Amino acid sequence: MDFAPHAVTALMGPSGCGKTTLLRCLNRIHEILPKARVEGKVSLDGEDVYDSGISAIELRRRVGMVFQRANPFPTMSIAGNVTAGLLSDVPNSARAQIVEKALRGAALWDEVKDKLNQPGTSLSGGQQQRLCIARALAVEPEVLLMDEPTSSLDPISTASVEDLMESLAKEYTIVVVTHNMQQAARVSNYSAFMLSGEDGIGHLIEMSETRQMFTKPTDPRTEDYITGRFG
Ligand SMILES: Nc1ncnc2c1ncn2[C@@H]1O[C@H](COP(=O)(O)OP(=O)(O)OP(=O)(O)O)[C@@H](O)[C@H]1O
Ligand SMILES: [Mg+2]
């Protein structure tokens, strides 16, 4: 699969087809699971991210991740959450500016600018999800992986995160897992459809421009899924 730079690619497919698993392989976060192993190759800017010379921690700065459930660090303030991923040698004098930029990028600044020292967990669910997006943006990644980022949000918060994805795609490469067909159609430029085979392993069935996938899918299984016949 090629993920186009400065575009949104949606990963779709029924539960259990391996979307999260694939996403985790892209920034090597599966390596925190003791028994996980990976085959194949993932390249970023022409470099194999599994090359022994590349540190997983460094990679995860370049390939940020936003999870399905907002997971702000419970003991930290809003500002502290945003700067949590920064290296310790970033001086305090630079942090305030980074916090503002990331929170503006995540379309949260106006709502929290007067209470940056309050706990991150004091925010609403939608705000917490945008806080997690700000945390991911603060380290200035190249790629943003988002695993069902709106599945626990109400329609208003969902709309704001969707708007955000569109504007973030100007600067970042975004890969988003979604179960919501309308969302995929609204926010993504490219779409990939996956299914798990009888072996229980996820396979890519089809990948194309979203417009094409939703109007003229090439595989009948994609069409069945998009039109809601299964999954
Ligand atoms: N390519 C693969 N190789 C090995 N195991 C896989 C592969 N794809 C999926 N699996 C296994 O299938 C299970 C479900 O995968 P995963 O959680 O990634 O699915 P998902 O598509 O994210 O589902 P959901 O929509 O419910 O979040 C996991 O146990 C995972 O290890
Ligand atoms: Mg998943």
Residue with CA nearest ligand 1 atom 5? 201
The type of residue at 202 is G
Q: Residue 118 CA to chain centroid, in angstroms?
A: 25
Can you give the pLDDT at residue 231? 55
Q: DSSP label at 119?
A: B
Residue with CA nearest ligand 1 atom 27? 15
Residue 87 dihedral angles phi and psi, to the nearest 5°: -70, 150
Can you give the pLDDT at residue 197? 87
Torsion of CA 109, 114, 119, 121, to 10 degrees: -50
Ligand 1 nearest atom to the CA of residue 148, by list position: 27
| Cα 21 to ligand 1 centre (Å) | 5
| Cα 117 to ligand 1 centre (Å) | 38
Burial class of residue 172 in the structure, from the number of CB atoms within 10 Å of its CB (0-12 exposed, 13-18 middle, 19+ buried): buried
- Which domains does the chain show, CATH number per domain? 8-72+142-226 (3.40.50.300)
The bound ligand whose nearest atom lies closest to the alpha carbon of 204 is 1
Element (H, E) at 205: strand 202-209
User: Coil, helix or strand for 219?
Assistant: coil
Q: Rounded CA gap, 125 and 177, in Å? A: 19
Burial class of residue 109 in the structure, from the number of CB atoms within 10 Å of its CB (0-12 exposed, 13-18 middle, 19+ buried): middle
Q: Rounded CA gap, 82 and 136, in Å? A: 8
Ligand 1 nearest atom to the CA of residue 203, by list position: 1
Per-residue pLDDT tens listing for the chain (231 residues): 999 999 999 999 999 999 999 999 999 999 988 898 899 999 999 999 999 999 999 999 999 999 988 899 999 999 999 999 998 889 989 999 999 999 999 989 999 999 999 999 999 988 999 999 999 999 999 999 999 999 888 888 888 889 989 989 999 999 999 999 999 999 999 999 999 988 888 999 999 999 999 999 999 999 999 988 765
How far the first Cα of the chain sits from its last, in Å, is 22
Q: DSSP label at 86?
A: S
Residue with CA nearest ligand 1 atom 29? 16
